[in-house]
Chain A
């Protein structure tokens, strides 16, 4: 064994070891040379003998007296030693290790790295994380016995990595593309108007481009040959969400798309909707010299055996090249790309320059709504958009002059070819329509027009909890605990209705209880919306329901991050987290990066410093990592909240939250005797919107804002919502909760 590579920086010495750990092992290989932390990369250690192990243990024990040792990327053979030999770590810490995956289709062996922090739940549940074959993109299986492979990692959890070590592993000096503690890595390259992201590793719940999203060009290229795996549920959904934001006002180009990615695209075409696929890559090997390489193909061209025969091997200049998996697999993928490409050609927004949202809102009104007979639904304006659908404010006309405002959610045309997403959309309508409860949005109808599905729902004149949190942070006030408790108690009441078991004894679990999905109507009514991810308790993991797990990962419960079965306790977590956010004015698990937030959710206790003591036991109980330790039912949580509200209302001090809030509310001290209502709080928080709405009503000569909307022309309504949208976009530096751009604005129904 010898030192393959060595880098030192700021008290950290990192060294990659390579070769066989045998009797000739030199202790210098683990000499820290005075560094406070020694990182040993074991990925290249191929063989181990019993004599080598003894020398190793001796040497690392000595080194551990002088430094702290961190083992990363242990090869399978070295991982065996951690599992088999007591004290093999010499007191050091194993951060990551490799396991082998085997593709049952093409028999390819694919190594995959496990992170001792991020994958901790898999180690104890003996459910190995899912990975794809790097060659054909299909589901690969762990080629080991989980309880044997994860024995050491499962019994040696890592709660914290020294900051210097964590910084080094994420820094430019470290040689691995994807550092332990990260799922993926992005390299950003900027050239003229185009920005290229080179994406490495795994795309799952933590995937984000936030860290490199400044100064983007008009064209963004995503280079994908180093993507190793896309989680079929969270990865697909997260990709659609992240890239969806990018392509709103940029041209997005996918470069060197590998089978791992194409396989997911074949399951969910929404992943490439609106993107241009510039090239695809297929793994090949030379029939003569066996040299393995990725063959890059322009997707405009057909791909067949002659393509392979024509291409010379890069290594020996001979050939022919062979695909490394079933040829029919590759052709199926390629044909799919050809079809997707032709389907996306000519979409005007791809080639269009950036356009103001206001211009798009009016031009994007779906024609079929206006043509519906006899003008039953009159579209007014687009008020929001989500990952796969747009939301419109619509006037519904009925007999003898009947009119009312509704909201229509329409699945976007590029997703109509994706059966899975269409089914999700229909399921959402079906599930929500079954629930009749004052705190749940009502779904009136599911319709079809112009080839698209649409859902007709209540118009909610209000704002989401997410937006309200943003406003309180912006205006530097906190929610009075009693009001926070009232909101969540109403939410519990809505969820309790959903959790009532159906005829088969199963409860409906919302699975996306986040601040963005709880609407606070300006009249003080709380409404739960968006059943897009909902499903019945204990439903099996089903690939056809891909993309349902993720709403906002920061609000996912530990069991959801681990992709375990959904139970009503999942929603209890969501309700508890919303209560904590409201009462604290910040997210109790929020960290600097997505990965750190996920780790905090999985392993660390919530930061509840400053939480009112009356709410503390409720929040603590609802945020237990183990679902079994949470409330037995959401109704129990609601009942406890209501008891606390009664106590707090008796004690005016906690219901009012101090004189600062009263001053902010513009109320006189004698008014402190009167209870603060949700309505008055919202009117103060969104006073600017209320002012605009009042002015709108005054000009229309209507007594109420809703009446004004019923009479106004679509053009005026569009202008009004544009004004409100601009008001939302005002940036702030003090916000510690997600800004409205991350959530749904007035169109909170997407």
Chain B
């Protein structure tokens, strides 16, 4: 029955039982680490580490530092109740961090279950995992930079038709544009792995080759609007994502890239405009960026909801 082990480092004993039940549904064994020795022993075997950052902050820092020195560490899901800039900057500084949930009052265990299932079953791709069963997505294949405008117009009409808050609709439109620009200009690479269009000005039109086609889909289940953009290169690195986000949150002099190509703000804009940002990568094969926005309420409701970032690498371990 056991598909590996999930190691839980959690402070509140009352939560442990609920967490145990939820995570055990994945078919994995769930073990708790109560002291550093148990922790070190558990890390060797486990396929996912789940940590309560608020309650065991020092231990969590220690674990993240320890794992960052490992050649092939397991994915680490950190749950915190803070989404303050300073905390996010610190967390994005840990190389071992793959999944971050900044929980709020609406937080439920589904997100943990989906995350654990994706890791344990090594089945990471697909927007459908995050939406209610049976929701039909609108799908497009995009073959040029100018080709993104049609689907984006459709998205705009769709959001208007379902009565989404105007500001949220504008954000969704921006996120789709950023995701598509990233997939069209940054992802394609030659056989040696050198980027093909990344250094081009974004005003310069790009025609994609047939094997560079980008897929774009969107769907809504009444609560979440899901946006999904996939390319066929699998070049996005978890370090790149964390470092860009950290740099942007720091709001320093180098927040905006001045080199040719992108501004280095796209991932930051996307993260800031979503409730859940999921990056699935099969190295050299496929990168899938999924954005989820809770459009069921007002903009304020959206802004107050749980926020998360998930980086999944096909194969489970990070290297």
Binding site for B on A (CB under 8 A): 23-24, 46-51, 53-54, 57, 76-77, 84-87, 100, 102, 109, 141-145, 148
- Complex Cα spacing A86 to B264, Å: 13
Are the C-beta atoms of A85 and B255 separated by less than 8 Å? yes
- Complex Cα spacing A287 to B253, Å: 52
Are the C-beta atoms of B256 and A143 separated by less than 8 Å? no
Are the C-beta atoms of B203 and A24 separated by less than 8 Å? yes
Q: A85-B251, A85-B256, A85-B265 are in contact. Are A143 and B201 (CB under 8 A)?
A: no
B264 / chain A contacts, CB cutoff of 8 Å: 50
B252 / chain A contacts, CB cutoff of 8 Å: 86
- Complex Cα spacing A143 to B303, Å: 9
Are the C-beta atoms of A141 and B178 separated by less than 8 Å? no
Are the C-beta atoms of B299 and A54 separated by less than 8 Å? no
24 contacts between A and B (CB under 8 A): A23-B203, A24-B203, A47-B173, A49-B177, A49-B178, A50-B264, A50-B268, A53-B263, A54-B257, A54-B263, A54-B265, A85-B251, A85-B256, A86-B253, A86-B255, A87-B253, A87-B255, A100-B167, A102-B299, A109-B166, A143-B298, A144-B303, A145-B303, A148-B303
Q: A23-B201, A144-B303, A145-B303 are in contact. Are A50 and B269 (CB under 8 A)?
A: yes
- B272 an interface residue at 8 Å Cβ cutoff? yes
Q: A85-B255, A145-B304 are in contact. Are A50 and B170 (CB under 8 A)?
A: no
- Complex Cα spacing A164 to B240, Å: 48
Are the C-beta atoms of A46 and B170 separated by less than 8 Å? yes
Are the C-beta atoms of A51 and B298 separated by less than 8 Å? no
**0 or 1 for each of B263-280: is its CB under 8 Å from A? (1 = yes):** 111101100100000000
Q: A49-B174, A76-B167 are in contact. Are A23 and B300 (CB under 8 A)?
A: no
Chain B positions 150-190 with a Cβ under 8 Å from a chain A Cβ: 165-167, 170, 173-174, 177-178, 181
A144 / chain B contacts, CB cutoff of 8 Å: 299-300, 303
Q: Which of A50, A76, A87, A102 contacts B300 (CB 8 A)?
A: A102
B255 / chain A contacts, CB cutoff of 8 Å: 85-87
B77: shortest Cβ distance to chain A, in Å? 25
A42: shortest Cβ distance to chain B, in Å? 15
- Complex Cα spacing A87 to B250, Å: 13
Are the C-beta atoms of B266 and A50 separated by less than 8 Å? yes
List the 6 shortest-distance A-B pairs measured between CB atoms, nearest first.
A50-B265, A23-B202, A54-B263, A86-B251, A51-B202, A50-B263
- B11 an interface residue at 8 Å Cβ cutoff? no
B266 / chain A contacts, CB cutoff of 8 Å: 50
Are the C-beta atoms of A141 and B170 separated by less than 8 Å? no
B interface residues, how many (CB within 8 angstroms): 32
A57 / chain B contacts, CB cutoff of 8 Å: 256
Q: A76-B167, A85-B251, A144-B300 are in contact. Are A54 and B256 (CB under 8 A)?
A: yes
Binding site for A on B (CB under 8 A): 165-167, 170, 173-174, 177-178, 181, 201-203, 251-253, 255-258, 262-266, 268-269, 272, 298-300, 303-304
- Complex Cα spacing A148 to B85, Å: 11
Indicate the member of A46, A47, A143, A145 with the most B CB atoms within 10 Å. A143
Known: A51-B181, A84-B268, A85-B265. 6 other contacts (CB 8 A): A49-B269, A51-B202, A51-B263, A84-B272, A109-B167, A143-B299
Indicate the member of A51, A76, A85, A86 with the most B CB atoms within 10 Å. A51
Nearest residue (CB) in B for A146 is: B300
- Complex Cα spacing A48 to B174, Å: 7
- Complex Cα spacing A109 to B202, Å: 34
A56: shortest Cβ distance to chain B, in Å? 10
Nearest residue (CB) in A for B177 is: A49
A24 / chain B contacts, CB cutoff of 8 Å: 203
- Complex Cα spacing A51 to B256, Å: 9
A624: shortest Cβ distance to chain B, in Å? 32
A141 / chain B contacts, CB cutoff of 8 Å: 300
Indicate the member of A48, A50, A76, A142 with the most B CB atoms within 10 Å. A50
B300 / chain A contacts, CB cutoff of 8 Å: 102, 141-145
